[in-house]
């Protein structure tokens, strides 16, 4: 289907919660590719078409993303049916460079790390600016289609009644926010250093893994980017120093972001709310994994920490709060269900 004969095809180890089977495809004298096979029934073919059409749009309009490679038939997606089960296949260009984790979180030698912070904001700002002019053929879902009070009430155990109430309150606040073209559109919805690669020669960033992309507020991606910064100072015991670092870090991110697009200052003021929304997304994902694996709901140290942030209205992921411990970041004693 894709002319991959003669390629060295290797399975990419799956991460927790992964929803696809992914392979690298390399052949001497040719650009490397990434082959993705979606096998779960939680996404329709139309939703997957919406994803790859959005990626193609971003690439064709100058977004720094890994482009979709068409099959020999000229299709962005192909479907293989085996034993009455559909496997939806797509191929991507492999992003140039490496992820930060592959470099043990060392940035380019001799270059200040602030370049990286700025470039993260800049590449995200470009994607959001392009989204403001995007008119989809096959539409992706809206953030609220998945994250709504009825679904969360059904997913979470009754022992988390306070959490359910707090999440319903959070969703009500989100529903009241502006959804104009400047504030709301297609977003990545999982923007972190695991989903882009850095060219260590130039510092340029290439974004991929749009599996969670949907219509939502641009501030959600910025909140994800804020959370990505905490790792640089998570071991600092002084809360004041952590807070100062995060202020400087996010200001640099916003400088890069603002070089490509504009965001309403009143939306920026909602950063604490959207950080809570990213915590909600993580919790929903964790409980979905438990359900899909047939496991009884349980709260480990990390989940317990996140739940307390939401139940007690502790802003900024508790990063500046007394509950945070630098020797055990983002962990609390596991709670019983």
Q: Domain holding 57: CATH number?
A: 3.30.200.20
- Could you report the per-residue pLDDT of 214-242, keeping only the tens digit for each? 999 999 999 999 999 999 999 999 999 99
Nearest CA-CA partner of 229 in 278, 265, 180: 278
Three-state secondary structure call for residue 94: coil
pLDDT digits (tens, 9 = 90+) for 73-124: 999 999 999 999 999 999 999 999 999 999 999 999 999 999 999 999 999 9
Could you count the other beta carbons within 10 Å of the beta carbon of residue 286?
19
Residues 173 and 59 in one domain: no
User: Structure tokens of 37?
Assistant: 């096979």
Residue 59 domain flag: yes
- CA separation for the pair 120, 255 (Å, rounded): 10
The answer to whether residue 3 is domain-embedded is no
Strand 68-69 to strand 85-93: parallel, antiparallel, or no bridges (unpaired)?
A: antiparallel
Together in a domain, 72 and 182: no
- Tell me, yes or no, whether 64 and 145 share the same domain: no
Give the domain extent around 129. Answer: 100-318
Exposure string over 199-226, b if 16+ CB within 10 A, otherwise e: ebeeebbbbbbbbbbbbbbbbbbbbbbb
**Does residue 191 contact residue 221 with C-beta atoms inside 8 Å?**
yes
Asked if residue 227 lies in contact with residue 278, where contact means CB atoms within 8 angstroms, the answer is: yes
What are the respective helix, strand and coil percentages of the chain, to the nearest 5? Answer: 40, 15, 40
Q: Are residues 108 and 127 in the same domain?
A: yes
Residue 135: its H or E element: none
CA atoms within 13 A on the CB side of 123: 24
Say what the pLDDT of residue 14 is. 82
Structural domain contains residue 334: no
- Which of 289, 267, 252 has the alpha carbon at shortest distance from 220? 267
How many angstroms separate the CA atoms of 231 and 330, rounded? Answer: 11
Q: Is residue 337 part of a domain?
A: no
pTM: predicted TM-score of the whole model, two decimal places: 0.96
Q: Which residues of the chain have pLDDT under 70?
A: 16-17
Structure tokens at 21: 């089977």
pLDDT in tens, 55-65: 999 999 999 99
Instruction: Tell me what pLDDT residue 100 has.
Output: 97
Q: How many separate domains does the chain show?
A: 2
What pLDDT score does 336 carry? 80
Query: Looking at residue 260, which CATH number applies to its domain?
Result: 3.90.1200.10
User: What pLDDT is recorded for position 305?
Assistant: 98
Contact 319, 230 (CB under 8 A): yes
Residue 70: predicted pLDDT:
97
Note whether 104 and 170 are same-domain residues: yes
The reply to whether 71 and 176 lie within a common domain is no
Residues 162 and 65 grouped into a single domain: no
């Amino acid at each position: 289907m894709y002319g991959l004969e003669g390629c060295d095809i290797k399975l990419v180890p799956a991460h927790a919660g992964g929803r696809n089977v992914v392979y690298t495809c390399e052949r001497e004298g040719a650009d490397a590719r990434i082959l993705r096979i979606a096998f779960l029934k939680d996404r329709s073919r139309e939703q997957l078409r919406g994803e790859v059409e959005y990626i193609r749009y971003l690439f064709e309009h100058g977004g720094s993303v890994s482009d979709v490679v068409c099959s020999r038939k000229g299709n962005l997606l192909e479907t293989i049916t085996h034993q009455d089960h559909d496997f939806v296949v797509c191929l991507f260009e492999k992003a140039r460079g490496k992820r930060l984790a592959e470099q043990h979180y060392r940035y380019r030698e001799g270059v200040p790390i602030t370049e990286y912070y700025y470039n993260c904001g800049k590449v995200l700002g470009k994607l959001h600016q392009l989204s403001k002019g995007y008119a989809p053929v096959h539409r992706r879902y809206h953030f609220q289609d998945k994250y709504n009070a009825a679904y969360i009430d059904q997913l979470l155990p009754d022992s988390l009644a306070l959490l359910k109430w707090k999440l319903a309150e959070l969703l009500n606040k989100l529903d009241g926010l502006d959804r104009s073209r400047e504030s709301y559109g297609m977003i990545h919805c999982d923007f972190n250093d695991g989903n882009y690669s850095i060219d260590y020669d130039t510092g340029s960033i290439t974004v991929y893994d749009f599996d969670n992309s949907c219509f939502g507020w641009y501030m959600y991606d910025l909140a994800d980017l804020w959370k990505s910064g905490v790792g640089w100072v998570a071991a600092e015991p002084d809360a004041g120093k952590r807070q100062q670092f995060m202020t400087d870090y996010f200001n640099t991110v916003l400088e890069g972001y603002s070089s490509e697009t504009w965001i309403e200052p009143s939306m920026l003021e909602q950063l604490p709310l959207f950080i809570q929304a990213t915590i909600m997304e993580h919790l929903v994902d964790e409980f979905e994994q438990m359900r899909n694996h047939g496991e009884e709901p349980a709260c480990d140290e990390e989940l317990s920490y996140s739940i307390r942030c939401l139940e007690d209205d502790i802003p900024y992921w508790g990063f500046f709060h007394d509950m945070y411990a630098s020797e055990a970041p983002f962990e609390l004693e596991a709670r019983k269900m």
